[in-house]
Structure 1
Amino acid sequence: MITDLAVRRRDFALAAAAVVVLTAASTVSLGAAAGAFDHRSNTVAYTTCSSPALSGSVVHVSLVDMRGMGGGMMGGQGRWRSWHAGMMRIVASTASVGVGTVSLRVTNSGVLTHELVVLTLPAGATVGSRAVGADGKVDEAGSVGEVSNTCGAGAGPGLAPGSTGWTTLTLPAGRYELVCNLPGHYAAGMSTELDVG
């Protein structure tokens, strides 16, 4: 004789299995719609290079996107509205450095082009809270530096996947937000704080 508890356990197990199947099916469908299974859209040419010896406090920064972390069911860079908070990130080797000369060695560990812009973080503001414009970018007014030159120093057209760029800045005490300001990347989670003091 089947008890009431056994029936509830069976029904729960069937419901859980249905949720798993439906979740997997919807994930595959979204990936197919975004072109994630099209081998042509997933071919990435990596550019590898290293930086020269850098002066001052050296902060190693990695720019990461979900496709570079083994996930990535979303479309390419031109489909920036598809990216959601938490799907990309910036990881720094330290959260704080001393006042003065600070070098940022930035490696694009993802499969999309990225950049790093250093913005002053106003008192009371939190990382990731800047207003994002209709173009998917934040206001760069007051930028104190940028790394977007593949295998080079300073600003350029963007860091290619696998490449490294760098810059050396003289930073006064304060809070800074490191951001990727390509369309949609900031809203997708590409920001972190660097405190100088």
Structure 2
Amino acid sequence: MNADRRRSTWLIVAMAVGALVLGIATTMVLAGTGAFRHAAPLAWRAQGARCSAPALPGKVVDVAVSDMGPGLMGGPGHGMRMMRLVARPATATAGVVSLRVLNTGAMAHEVVVLPLSSGQGIGERPTGPAGKVSEEGSLGEASRSCAAGEGHGIAPGAMAWTTLTMRPGRYELVCNLPGHYLAGMYAELDVTSR
């Protein structure tokens, strides 16, 4: 085996070992924060918890929440994030804005709307010992399966929604169940004046 081929083989092995170590470390962090204790109750899984949102007022932003369940880790461009929260479109006009949230994962999730201060980026909020961020200043949330507003989490396969009156600014949409924010469940929503 020539030197270039040995280096190439060594690099592949080193990358594989690094990915394995990162996966194990991430799993340990999530387990330590209690993220895995928020799997959907058996009753939700048995019922299939499928539903759809009614016609919603204002600008509708579709939010998809997911975890390592079916479809997350297999697609291109997903990186090493264990969980995801994606808003489309990521911009809305000030006024009435409705968030329509679909849980495509295998665990319960939620979406809390928090303002971003000037210079603050998404994913930068400090988390407490329970693996959650402060919800101070929250505009509202979608966390009730098949209904509007606050609840105990959106069941896998279910939708939830909330309608808010939003001023121009930058907002962070987060899943604030223990450990989910640390696992990558945040996205930015920009609200413009026009």
Equivalent residue, structure 1, for 2:150:
155
Residues in 2 aligned to 1:22 and 1:60: alpha-carbon distance in whole angstroms: 37
Equivalent residue, structure 2, for 1:95:
90
Report the secondary structure of 2:139's partner residue.
Answer: strand
Equivalent residue, structure 1, for 2:34:
none
> Is the alpha carbon distance of 1:102 and 1:51 closer, same or farther for their aligned partners in structure 2, counting shifts above 3 Å?
same
Residues in 1 aligned to 2:94 and 2:5: alpha-carbon distance in whole angstroms: 63
Q: One-letter code of the match for 1:87? A: M
Output the aligned Cα RMSD: 2.8
Query: 1:105: Cα distance to partner?
Result: 0.3
Q: Of the candidates 157, 176, 179, which is equivalent to residue 181 of structure 1? A: 176
Equivalent residue, structure 1, for 2:120:
125
Query: 1:7: Cα distance to partner?
Result: 2.6
Equivalent residue, structure 2, for 1:55:
57
Query: 1:86: Cα distance to partner?
Result: 2.1
Query: 1:162: Cα distance to partner?
Result: 0.8
Residues in 2 aligned to 1:125 and 1:17: alpha-carbon distance in whole angstroms: 37
Residues in 2 aligned to 1:97 and 1:17: alpha-carbon distance in whole angstroms: 44
TM-score normalized by structure 2?
0.76
**Largest Rg, 1 or 2:** 1
Equivalent residue, structure 1, for 2:134:
139
Q: One-letter code of the match for 2:104? A: S
Structure 2, unaligned stretches of length 5 or more? 29-38, 75-79
Report the secondary structure of 2:176's partner residue.
Answer: coil
Q: Of the candidates 99, 111, 115, which is equivalent to residue 116 of structure 1? A: 111
| More displaced stretch, 86-95 vs 161-170 | 86-95
Query: 1:69: Cα distance to partner?
Result: 2.6
Query: 1:20: Cα distance to partner?
Result: 7.4
Residues in 2 aligned to 1:120 and 1:22: alpha-carbon distance in whole angstroms: 39
Structure 1, unaligned stretches of length 5 or more? 1-5, 35-40, 73-84
Counting matched residue pairs gives: 169
Report the secondary structure of 2:160's partner residue.
Answer: strand
Q: Of the candidates 64, 69, 88, which is equivalent to residue 66 of structure 2? A: 64
Residues in 1 aligned to 2:11 and 2:152: alpha-carbon distance in whole angstroms: 48
Residues in 1 aligned to 2:51 and 2:185: alpha-carbon distance in whole angstroms: 22
> Is the alpha carbon distance of 1:70 and 1:134 closer, same or farther for their aligned partners in structure 2, counting shifts above 3 Å?
same
Aligned identity (percent) is 47
Report the secondary structure of 1:177's partner residue.
Answer: strand
Report the secondary structure of 2:55's partner residue.
Answer: coil
Residues in 2 aligned to 1:196 and 1:163: alpha-carbon distance in whole angstroms: 26
Query: 1:175: Cα distance to partner?
Result: 1.1
Report the secondary structure of 1:15's partner residue.
Answer: helix
Query: 1:123: Cα distance to partner?
Result: 1.3
Residues in 1 aligned to 2:11 and 2:180: alpha-carbon distance in whole angstroms: 34
* 1:144-173 superposed Cα distances (whole Å, 9 cap, x missing partner): 010000000101111001100001111111
TM-score normalized by structure 1?
0.75
Query: 1:143: Cα distance to partner?
Result: 0.6
